[in-house]
Amino acid sequence: MEPAELPRRTTLISQTIAVLESGLKQGRWVEHLPGQHELCQQLAISRTTLRAALRVLARRDRIDLRQGRPMVIRHPAAPAGTVARPARVVVLVPAPLWRLRPSVAHWVSDLRSLVERANLEFILSEGGQHYSAKPEAPLARLLQSHPRSAWILFASTRAMQAWFGARGAPALLVGSAFPGIELPSIEYDHAAIAQHAATLLANAGHRRTAILLQRTGSAADATTCGAFAAARRPDSPPPLVLEHDGTMAQIESRLRRLAAWRDRPTALFVTKTLAVPAAYTVLARLGLAIPRDLSVICREDDPFLEYLAPAVARYRSDSAVIARQLMQAIARLAGGQALAVTHQRLMPRFIDGASVAPPVRGA
């Protein structure tokens, strides 16, 4: 009986090379390989075997192997107009989904179904330090833990947009891009909405207006205020901007300030649907009737607004359209196509309601 063939170290080196190259191809490691000690433990091999495999990868220009430095991964240049195909879609939102508008949960749910139907993994990241003033380190950790991903950024800050733009990661914005940011976006046309609302109020005879603005840190805040102010009547003062953080306490504080104003505004443009019921109840407690004392228009719409009386004037949109538009872009990435930097602006439909009337004579 012939003795069994003994395992050869060259075969183990070849297997190690194959395992490492497979991990690189699958995006297991993004920017650099783990240290040699950690790799030896993960692969259950000796340092001699690992070093032999690493030298081969370095000769193949897959890694940068320098003594005393991290093993940086070299990414081969993709053909012009192509990108790495994503294995998953990661959606970033600024807070737990249940705290956001119902329509946001709607398009996120629709997108999840479309993504999973395309056999891609769907990951939702809710809130956290990614939306802080300095998101760089948390975003770097997130990118490292989710390689080969397409990124959907909702209500993103300037710092977030700049970080993704600088790294060339495939990212799409749901919301406005800040000036100088080269990322594709899908958004409602906040400038056109604000201009329409201001013009409608001006035509109804309102000179003194106010904006109940929830601070989001997104580019839509400045866009809305600027467009609304630009469309006011020539003889009208600038709108009073009442900023709040979305809490009932701050909304009530701002509305009490409005009610106490000597030249009180006669019309209010509300940017977020969740602030509308707050405005209705607080204004009623202050003795101000809608629309007799104050006309109200909301920039957005959600189903619960149908249960307010008088019916609030608002801008209605189909949130499923956002999910479909995003999926079209994701499908292009999955096909290896790079995304052009375009800004798709959606214009919702205006619902008249019964919350707008001419101001009381002499007001």
Domains of the chain: 9-73 (1.10.10.10), 88-188+320-346 (3.40.50.2300), 190-316 (3.40.50.2300)
Q: Is 223 helix (H, G, I), strand (E, B) or coil?
A: helix
Q: What is the dihedral of CA 179, 180, 185, 190, to 10 degrees?
A: 10
The residue assigned the tokens 């189909």 is 318
Count other Cβ atoms within 10 Å, centred on residue 23. Answer: 16
- The whole model's pTM is what? 0.73
CA distance 57 to 18: 10
The residue assigned the tokens 């195909």 is 85
Q: Decide: 180 and 158 in contact? Cβ < 8 Å.
A: no
- Cβ-based burial of 27 (10 A; exposed 0-12, middle 13-18, buried ≥19): middle
**Cα 349 versus chain centre, distance:** 23
Would you state the pLDDT for residue 76? 61
Would you state the pLDDT for residue 2? 47
Would you state the pLDDT for residue 360? 86
Per run of 10 residues, the mean pLDDT along the chain (length 363 residues) is 46 84 70 82 86 85 79 64 77 93 94 94 93 92 90 94 91 92 93 97 97 91 95 92 96 97 96 97 97 98 96 94 94 88 93 96 63
Would you state the pLDDT for residue 5? 45
Would you state the pLDDT for residue 91? 97
Would you state the pLDDT for residue 311? 98
The residue assigned the tokens 């495939």 is 170
Tally the residues of the chain.
363
Would you state the pLDDT for residue 95? 92
Q: Decide: 9 and 46 in contact? Cβ < 8 Å.
A: no
Q: Decide: 348 and 319 in contact? Cβ < 8 Å.
A: no
Would you state the pLDDT for residue 362? 59
CA distance 34 to 44: 14
CA distance 169 to 184: 12
Would you state the pLDDT for residue 227? 96
CA distance 23 to 30: 10
Would you state the pLDDT for residue 3? 44
Q: How far is CA 160 from CA 90, 137, 180, 302, in A?
A: 14, 11, 13, 27
Q: Is 240 helix (H, G, I), strand (E, B) or coil?
A: strand
Would you state the pLDDT for residue 27? 61
Range list of H helices, 204-273: 220-230, 248-260
Give the angle subtended at the CA of 210 by the CAs of 207 and 211, to the nearest 5°. 140
Q: How far is CA 70 from CA 56, 63, 90, 300, in A?
A: 17, 10, 27, 49
**φ, ψ of residue 188 in degrees (nearest 5):** -80, 150
Would you state the pLDDT for residue 32? 74
